[in-house]
Amino acid sequence: MLRLPFSVSVLVGLLVVAQGFLLPSSTSRKSISGTHWMTATEQGESDSTAAAAKEEDQEEEKESLLLDRLGGPPALEAAVSIFYDRVVADPELERFFKGVDVDALRDHQYQFMEIAFTKIPEDLDVVAYISDAHARLLRKEGLNESHFDLVAGHLVGTLQGLGVQQAEIDSVVATVGPLRGVFEQAAKEATADDSQQEE
């Protein structure tokens, strides 16, 4: 049986009704101009099938979301907490967290990862978001791609410690890994700006 997406099934159903081809309360197929159209009873069964197909598609999409594969929001919250414990304890990174409300950072990190591990809105400029969020650290504290690498290592270590499967860890790395370029580029720009100011 050909399974059409729910929206296509609804559209076809509406077109049939609009053309007057939906036949009331008959249980047999009728032929109009050589084309077989569903009866109202069959259409009801088809709508039920379409609704079930839509629910199945939504479940498949949910299962395919990285956040759900990681264990959902509670698992992400636990991971972010452990992750920040590791990051702020790292001697190479601790200077970036002096005088900072780490609990607020945990909340921001959770919110970002929740978006990154579900579906990033089309209107969200991730590069600008990351650059703006780290602007002071990039310009004044020397934050760069080597620090990103350390942080990414703590993220991977956190997920490994929580028993996350390697395939999901690889998906996390594939999601956040491209952000390394933001730190690399911003560090180069900060260095260039510093050089121009010294001249």
Please check the confidence at residue 10 and state whether its pLDDT lies above 80.
no
143 CB neighbour count, 10 Å cutoff:
22
**In percent, how much of the chain has pLDDT > 90?**
35
CA distance 113 to 70: 11
Mind listing the domains of the chain with CATH numbers? 6-64 (no CATH), 71-198 (1.10.490.10)
**In percent, how much of the chain has pLDDT > 70?**
65
pLDDT score for 20: 33
pLDDT digits (tens, 9 = 90+) for 57-106: 544 444 478 889 888 999 999 999 999 999 999 999 999 999 999 999 99
pLDDT score for 189: 83
Contact present, 29 and 46 (Cβ < 8 Å): no
Residue scoring higher pLDDT (28 or 46):
46
C-alpha dist (Å) from residue 165 to 85, 120, 170: 21, 23, 9
pLDDT score for 198: 62
Which of the four pLDDT bands, split at 50, 70 and 90, describes residue 152?
Answer: very high
CA distance 122 to 139: 28
Contact present, 67 and 76 (Cβ < 8 Å): yes
Q: What does pLDDT average to over the chain?
A: 74
**H-type alpha helices, the chain:** 6-18, 40-64, 66-69, 72-89, 102-116, 126-133, 135-140, 145-161, 166-176, 180-198
Amino acid at 153: G
**H-type alpha helices, 65-101:** 66-69, 72-89
Mean pLDDT within 133-147: 89
